[in-house]
Amino acid sequence: MIVQTHLISHTAILSAISVGLLYLAGCSVTPSAAKPDSNTVTIHTTIPATQANPDTQTLTTRPLDKALQKCASEFLDKTQPTMTAKLSQKTYPLCFNGFAVMYSGVTKTPIWVAEHLTRQRIAAAKTLVREGNFHEETRLPTEVRSLLSDYTNTGFDRGHLAPNADMANPDSQFDSFSLANIAPQTPDHNRKTWVKIETQTRNLTDQYGSAYVVTGVAFLTPEVKRLKNRVLVPSHFFKAVYLPSQQQALAFFSPNDDSGTVEKISLSTLKKRTGVNAFPSLPSNVATIAP
């Protein structure tokens, strides 16, 4: 049972979230800002929407993947997010400097990325000059890895899941530009809506000392776009945040479009919508509280 005197209210958290200026260092821009053209096609997705019948889906549970043990500190209680069986197909766990990735060979994007942010890490990240060097992830099999050419002249940005502005040293900054950490994002969503969420997450970390963060994508529409007939375009992005010092959590949920829409939802609602349980070790009284 959580003692109320040790908690801040969700009102206080949301008040803190609303504070902060737009910080553009975390966004990434595609080589061309042209509108989507023939390089972007609409297909029937192989990952069905999870909103229709969320309670009937079975989440796969497993210990921390061997490939992720070197970056176990990025996970709350050294426990990785769980996913539905469908989302878990053809996945590749990858450790990077400062974050961990669960990459999908089906979508050719990450499904989720995990980070442990601290006040010290955020302070160190502010001292780095952004040096963008997008690169293909050679640890992935050639048939499933996304390519630099996949994003060229599509009208979509190369959107970071673990933001460059979260990275405290040159090695982690370089790693953040791996295409294994990238998903197609509309320019307005990447540069306006999502960068605010990234900044708000860093502000919360700075205010409360540390935060565990899981950022992911969702494919919730019957049809999805595919770049160059290869990389699937997410319908939504999400960012789940847990504040250990407050024993409180919330998730940002936003459509990948130019509407500027952002919902703040509970972790249990996020799981029902996306099939991803961001922090499976958390008790239900934390996961089910609506922000």
Buried/exposed 64-100: b ≥16 CB within 10 Å, e otherwise: beeebeebeebbbeebbbbbbeebbeebbbbbbebbb
Spell out a b/e string for 130-159, using b for 16 or more CB atoms within 10 Å of the CB, else e.
eeeebebbeebeeebbbeeebbebbbbbbb
Tokens matching residue 81: 């997010």
> Is residue 270 within a helix (H) or strand (E), and if so which, with residue range?
helix 267-274
Catalytic status, residue 236:
no
Record the tokens describing residue 113, joined without a space. 């990325």
* DSSP string covering 94-154: EEETTEEEEEETTTTEEEEEEEEEEHHHHHHHTTSPP----B--TTS-TTT---HHHHTTS
Distance CA 96, CA 113 (A): 10
Catalytic pick among 116, 160, 189, 236: 160
For residue 190, say whether it is annotated as part of any ligand binding site.
Answer: yes
- What are the tokens at 206? 């700075």
Q: Which two tokens stand for residue 268?
A: 């249990």
3-state secondary structure of 180: helix
- DSSP state string for 201-218: HHHHHHHHSEEEEEEEEE
Enter the tokens of residue 144.
């499933």
Instruction: Name the strands in the sheet holding 223-227, side by side, starting at the edge strand that comes first in the sequence.
Output: 40-44, 223-227, 231-232
- Which active-site residues does the annotation give? 160
Task: Detail the residues annotated as belonging to a binding site for Mg(2+).
Answer: 190
Task: Detail the residues annotated as belonging to a binding site.
Answer: 190
